[in-house]
Chains A and B, each alone.
Chain A
Amino acid sequence: MDTGLLHGAANLRAMERRLEAAAMNLANVETPGYKRLRPANESFEAALTRASKLPARYPRTIVARDFAQGPLVTTENARELSLRGEGFFVAEDGRGIKLARHARFEVDPQGYLVLHDGSRLLGQVGPILVPPGSSEMHVTSDGTVSAEGVVVGSLRVVKSDDAQRLVAEGGGAFRPPPADRLPLSDAEVLQGVRERSNVEAVDEMLELMMIQHSFQASSRAMVARSEAAQRYIQQSG
């Protein structure tokens, strides 16, 4: 099989994957705590080390996640928490532990601090319980939570050993791999603050243009390659 055609087709697939990532980022340009997908093409050298000769599926796109801090904006909502610095809030649901960059908490009927999906927000020692009927909640920058002026717990804020290995599951949540130790983080907890998405619309627009041009160039190359093959067949025939 003509490898020129194969590499062309591989690039069409790679660009398709990049478009998926750009569309995901743009759809979440206003999602609090969203971390952008950062696609990159595998380098030529890396592809050669992966196999003894250049693999037919070259180039291919690898999608990593960019955990850079998003811009912080104040909201008037005292039940909205964000982090400044590297780290995640920890919540627990039926499937185990999950991590989130942005937390909008509520108090469930049992008095636990919960996220919108009912998963319990974890403190240093398990879920945080507030006395029934409390409405005034205060969270300091070190994560100490007080309800009606009485300290009820301290939020657990952790780092991941390798954030790239976190599995995103939507709803702003990431599942850490089971072996991850999750060391404590010293990120600053901010109450009434929203971390905006770290997607830059301008960068994604440039990416869209690049994707389209690269896709078009590869398709031209494939057509040229295929026409050359056709001429060769006619001449030898």
Chain B
Amino acid sequence: MIKALYTAATGMKTQQVNVDVIANNLANVNTSGFKRSQADFQDLLYIILQAPGAETAEGRQSPTGIEIGSGARLVSTTKVFTQGVLEPTGRKLDVAIQGEGFYEVELPDGSIAYTRDGAFRRDANGELVTPEGYPLKNNITIPRDVASENINFGVDGTVSYTDLQGTQATAGTIELVRFPNPSGLKSLGGNLFAETVASGQAVRGKPGEDGLGGLLPANLERSNVEVVNEMVNLIVAQRAYEVNSRAIRTGDQMLSISTSLTR
């Protein structure tokens, strides 16, 4: 009976984590380039009192064994990398990725991170940077005096601009990367991801080729969180939490009945 109390408690704990994950998704419903997470559960190990097919004291084979489960546990949180809705912003430097792929940015400590948030800015030197000020790995610099309306992003990643004299010039090419297993990427916060052993090594390529998505200027990719789905998940998690608390209450009442057996 005490075992049943602990088993139900593991159910409550996993649902608590589930609510945490859902709350984080809901908090990021308006974060551009955000990818929702989902919590995955598994049953915990079983204590086998009698294996199925074992011989009983009467010399027969028991058709079913006696296995006592110990509850449930969180096994992983998976990021779901589906395409978010593309929203036109009218701002030339907002460049969404239509399809698979990540931008490669350089962090101040020299390490590399990956993002799908293409809301670029130009810093004091005219270099394309993320809203946090991290430059793209293959730096792209456009002279400060060129207005953003005169900058063009090709679907294939080429960045060109028309200068004040009216001549066309190429600033460079934006490369994208993709991963064998994007769900294995580590979230760094700030819309950034880092490569891990589980994600596999980044494969570089030109946008629009080898399965990589094309670039779409003047658009931003919205979060792929669907509020309605998350609300349904929240209700389910709350009910699951509640029924587990009922199992604990039943166990508690049975314990109190047993103790009142002897007076």
Instruction: Spell out A's residues near B (CB within 8 Å).
Output: 12, 15-17, 19-24, 26-32, 34, 37, 50-51, 62-65, 75-77, 79, 104, 106-107, 109, 116, 132-136, 148, 164-172, 177, 201, 204-205, 208, 211-212, 215-216, 219, 222-223
A170 CA to B72 CA, complexed, in Å:
9
Whether B200 lies near A32 (C-beta < 8 A) is no
Whether A32 lies near B40 (C-beta < 8 A) is yes
A165 CA to B48 CA, complexed, in Å:
12
Whether B200 lies near A107 (C-beta < 8 A) is yes
B165 CB-CB contact with A under 8 Å? no
Q: Which residues of A contact B38 (CB under 8 A)?
A: 75, 77
Whether B261 lies near A28 (C-beta < 8 A) is no
A133 CA to B65 CA, complexed, in Å:
44
| B173-200 contact mask (Cβ, 8 Å, vs A): 1 or 0 | 0000011111110000000000001101
How far, in Å, is A83 (CB) from chain B's closest CB?
17
Q: Which residues of A contact B253 (CB under 8 A)?
A: 212
Q: Which residue of B lies closest to A8 (CB)?
A: B261
Whether B42 lies near A31 (C-beta < 8 A) is yes
Q: Which residues of B contact A132 (CB under 8 A)?
A: 180
Whether A219 touches B260, Cβ cut-off 8 Å, given contacts A23-B7, A135-B180, A208-B247, is yes
A63 CA to B11 CA, complexed, in Å:
20
Whether B68 lies near A20 (C-beta < 8 A) is yes
Stretch of B126-134, B141-149, B233-241 with 4 or more beta carbons under 8 angstroms from chain A: B233-241
11 contacts between A and B (CB under 8 A): A23-B71, A24-B69, A26-B240, A29-B240, A32-B41, A62-B64, A75-B80, A164-B63, A164-B64, A168-B46, A211-B250
| Partner among B51, B182, B197, B237 whose Cβ is within 8 Å of the Cβ of A167 | B51
| Partner among A22, A62, A77, A135 whose Cβ is within 8 Å of the Cβ of B247 | A22
Whether A171 touches B69, Cβ cut-off 8 Å, given contacts A133-B203, A201-B240, is no
Whether B1 lies near A19 (C-beta < 8 A) is yes
| A27, A30, A134, A169 — most chain B CB neighbours (10 Å) | A27
A148 CA to B58 CA, complexed, in Å:
58
A170 CA to B75 CA, complexed, in Å:
11
| B183-222 contact mask (Cβ, 8 Å, vs A): 1 or 0 | 1100000000000011011010000000100000000000
B15 CB-CB contact with A under 8 Å? yes
A62 CA to B127 CA, complexed, in Å:
71
| Partner among A20, A75, A133, A171 whose Cβ is within 8 Å of the Cβ of B43 | A171
A62 CA to B182 CA, complexed, in Å:
45
B172 CB-CB contact with A under 8 Å? no
Q: Using A31-B43, A107-B181, A177-B53 as known contacts, list a sample of 9 further A-B pairs with CB atoms less than 8 Å apart, ordered by residue number in A.
A: A24-B68, A28-B41, A28-B69, A30-B236, A50-B60, A164-B64, A170-B70, A172-B43, A219-B258
Whether A79 touches B183, Cβ cut-off 8 Å, given contacts A32-B40, A168-B67, A215-B257, is yes
Q: Which residues of A contact B78 (CB under 8 A)?
A: 77, 104
Whether A20 touches B7, Cβ cut-off 8 Å, given contacts A29-B240, A109-B200, A165-B53, is yes
Contacting residues of chain B (1-39) with chain A, CB-CB under 8 angstroms: 1, 3-5, 7-8, 10-11, 14-15, 18, 38
Whether A16 lies near B53 (C-beta < 8 A) is no
Q: Which residue of B lies closest to A164 (CB)?
A: B64
B254 CB-CB contact with A under 8 Å? yes
Q: Which residues of A contact B45 (CB under 8 A)?
A: 169-171
